Structure 1
């Protein structure tokens, strides 16, 4: 019974972090409204797999390693921040470019494979997420967790992350959000680029700050 309560507490704590706005939310929302519902759902799957990766690494003890090896954590933050800044620059540069429309008014841009890879890279670009996962597990896992708990956590994390971002994709890929995006594309893209770029710069500055 204690393990079941621990599992519920872990999923509840992780859910709070998942629904908090960040670069992952911005990317899935923009992909869904700018490309297609299918691409948005592919992004959601990428986010889910990224969450499983972080969850698995946290269970394997990455949190303890990053806490002890400061230069490794700084290096991961620098690499992740640089990726987010690059992604922001890419979005900003394409903000003024019109979309090529296909059948049914669906924009022709990135395919599902590309949307998936961008989402996965965005999800894993923030090593602070590994710290969050590690901290939640350290605080809420029982001292001697049963084996089934380790087996249950990865698929449940996948369902949690993918489910939330799939809901985001479905909401933003509806007709009205897409029409509003097409009308205000340059402004929306630049806001998205600004949010992602600011988060990336924050990671880079954190990495450069003396510990």
Structure 2
């Protein structure tokens, strides 16, 4: 099976990616602050499902399509950027202020609170529309596969699961920490408004970075 060195290498790559602010991190933090830790963890489950989809596709050899069909990669990249811009617009226009208990409410009445299904699908779509995750499995993980240690598919699966474990663990810590901000903002409506616009700005900035990237590498974080 995989070597200890390969596992350590993948852990290092996974940590480097998850600690770099990207679409997943911004989305999870925004959901956690807006609706509390539970909402952030449900969104994280969607992100984890997205990782699993890409991993299975890579093991099956399907994700290599991004390497041989650049137009498809470009299409997914711009779709991801558009989705992030939509999330940014939703964050700004919602007028939602965070209140204690992990719920969002408008100053003039009840606001939009995403249900579990929508939270999960939001995390899933955010991750699936980040094509750099597919590139990670296609171009980075294979570097840690040793043909002398058995089947490449089995090794890729194990290494991919290591990457997912690291990404989910770190993001869970981020979600739990971000969720505690909800109470602070709930007692300070002015700060909640600032947070809303900051979230929209961050999402828009990541969208621009995703759309403008031409490296085809793994610069955009998970």
Smaller-chain TM-score bracket: 0.7 to 0.9
Contact preservation (8 Å) 2:25, 2:171: yes
Unaligned runs of 5+ in 1: none
Q: What RMSD over aligned residues (CA atoms) do the two structures have, in Å?
A: 2.4
The reply to whether residue 138 of structure 1 matches residue 159 of structure 2 is no
The answer as to 2:101 corresponding to 1:105 is: yes
Structure 1 CA distance for aligned equivalents of residues 62 and 201 of structure 2: 30
Match of 1:163 among 159, 162, 169: 169
TM-superposed deviation, 1:62? 4.7
Match of 1:186 in 2: 193
Q: 1:82 aligns to what SS in structure 2?
A: helix
- Deviation per residue, 1:90-115 (Å, 9 max, x gap): 11111x3345x5xx633152222221
Structure with a larger share of its residues in helix: 1
TM-score (structure 1 length as normaliser): 0.82
1:117 corresponds in structure 2 to: 121
Instruction: Compare 60-69 and 71-80 and name the one that shifted more.
Output: 60-69
Cα distance in 2 between the residues matched to 1:133 and 1:203: 18
Q: State how far apart, in whole Å, the 2-side matches of 1:34 and 1:54 are.
A: 28
When structure 1 is superposed on structure 2, of 62-71 and 41-50 the one drifting more is: 62-71
2:147 is paired with a residue whose SS is: coil
Pairing 1:69–2:69 present: yes
Relative to structure 2, which stretch is displaced further, 58-67 or 80-89? 58-67
Deviation digits for residues 11-68 of structure 1 (CA, Å, limit 9, x no counterpart)? 3212211221112111111211220221111122122222222233333335542222
Aligned to 1:201: 208
- Please give the alpha-carbon distance, in whole angstroms, between the structure 2 residues aligned to 1:160 and 1:25: 14
> CA 1:159–1:74 in 2, change beyond 3 Å: closer, same or farther?
same
Distance 1:111 1:145, change over 3 A: farther
